[in-house]
Amino acid sequence: MSNLPIIDIAIIIVYLLAMLGIGFYFSKKNKNSEQFTKASGKIPGWAIGLSIYATFLSSNTFLGNPGKAFGGNWNVFVFSLSMPLAAWVATKYFVPFYRNTGEISAYTNLEKRFGSWARTYAVVCFLLTQFARMGTIFFGMALSLQALTGFSMQSIMIVMGLCIIIYTVLGGMEAVIWTEVVQGIIKTLGALLILYLVIRQIPGGFTKVIEIARADDKFSLGSTSFNFTQPTFWVVLLYGFFINLNNFGMDQNYIQRYHTAASGKQAAKSVWLCVWMYVPVSLLFVIIGTSLYSFYQMQPGLIDPVKIKLATDKLGTLATPEQVQNLAASFKPADYADKVLPHFMVTKVPTGLLGLIVAAILSAAMSTISSNMNASATVFTMDIYKKYFKPGVNDKQQLASLHIATVVFGLIGLGAGLAMIGAKSLLDTWWKLSGIFAGGMLGLFLLGLISKQAKNAAAVTATIIGVLVILWMTFSENISNEYSFLKSSLHSNMIIVVGTLVIFLSGIVISKVMGGRNAGDSGAAIPHKPVGGDRGV
């Protein structure tokens, strides 16, 4: 599609102006740092829940889950099934812990617990992962919208990036939350609309979808064998549980919202609201993918342009038509799964409705990026600027730092997305590194939260051991076949699981060994009380 119809362009412009309008509206209230970072703690629990839900429901879910279901089965949905257990842990331990500390930064307690190195390590890891995350979402959004709108990826990223920066800087956390409330609703309605449009065009409707999908085993959640070298049911379930523990327990994007609630009870309710919304909606997205699979199985000729384009890109312009056709015919659904939903929207969605769906895709990206920007600015100001550069900062200077950091981090995220256009493999590697950081952060946090005996030396040693294990699991695939016995045989989803457990368990073991030695002949461990008390432990 070289140009969107005027009505669709108008719908998109109205949506963007509405998002900017929310930012301008809340700018009148955004007069101090507390308002900017936690909206003065007066946001209702239901709004916070919708905000967390919108952050979870990024463009990766909106565009990625249908592709996974189209090319494979419902294995990707197992990730969502892990959320209730992670939410139970979060509401029982994490929410009370952070509410009791009163610290807006998720990483201040690590310094109280283990020393400044732990706080700095977690802050650096968090900021680097945010840059990678924002870049990935910018890139994914632009890649999809380029096919829908005909505009260049650069122009899409720049326009969207500037809009997000403006309303995030102006409105602070309150604007982020209320725009995410709107965006969460738009995303959900957009998904329902897409499913309706797909089912409507299938002769036999949803009954036919079930028939085709069942025949091709598309409803499978993955193998239930205890094989950790493949993305089995158990591997994805463990991966999802540890990722969601990291989200609820270590990710500033979520923890900052705990402080925006009027009470701990409201904060806990927001977590559960997010879960009970995200799980069925993520199922909705895999149903969309399965329905698209049935639609194109019944009319395979309609997907040929996608396969031809993919084959042409792989072979180059010098390839003969026969070579292109032969390669296109060899493709399996998984080979072009990520291109199916954009193709359907371009070719089958009526004018007017396409603008609404594009707005839904934009909202999926904008909600996550705005949240990342605000959280990154908060962490930088509280954990770096205020600690190392200006300890005696007043509130006016602190608010200025938050504004400047929001703009800078937004531009860095935008730059990462633009760089991905020409250096995708480089940022794919960087995305692997973000997994390394997540595993290290979560293991260290759990060690400090659960083990009262663990001290600085044990935490440092355990973190070094864990990061080395994570590095080995991540990059052992590059080891020469001559030394294949040194390669990790576990699936990549197990990296955060193993890394977190290694740090946590080795920290406990080292603490017991060191505690026993320090206690002398009695063998009794020296009781340890973290600096700042045991609140929330």
Contact 53, 259 (CB under 8 A): no
Distance (Å, whole) CA 172 – CA 137: 21
Distance (Å, whole) CA 379 – CA 405: 10
Cβ neighbours around 178 below 10 Å, total:
20
Please write down the HEC assignment for all residues of 264-307.
HHHHHHHHHHHHHHHHHHHHHHHHHHHHHHHHHHHCHHHHHHHH
Contact 463, 499 (CB under 8 A): no
- Write down the pLDDT at residue 210: 92
Residues in a beta bridge with 159? none
Helix (H) / strand (E) containing 519: none
Residue appearing with tokens 């959640």: 221
- Write down the pLDDT at residue 532: 37
| Cα–Cα nearest to 457, from 377, 523, 526, 358 | 526
Using alpha carbons, list the distances in angstroms from residue 214 to 209, 265, 523.
8, 43, 61
- pTM for the predicted model, two decimal places: 0.82
Q: Is the dihedral of CA 453, 455, 458, 459 positive or negative?
A: positive
* Pair of tokens at residue 102: 């009163």
Residues 6+ apart with CB under 8 A from 176: 51, 168, 370, 371, 374
- Write down the pLDDT at residue 520: 40
Residue appearing with tokens 């056709």: 325
* Pair of tokens at residue 133: 């995350």
Coil, helix or strand for 261? strand
Residues in a beta bridge with 43? 261
- Write down the pLDDT at residue 436: 64
Distance (Å, whole) CA 514 – CA 458: 8
- Write down the pLDDT at residue 423: 55
Low-confidence stretches of the chain (pLDDT < 70) are 1-4, 30, 39-41, 59, 422-437, 439, 516-537
Distance (Å, whole) CA 463 – CA 115: 13
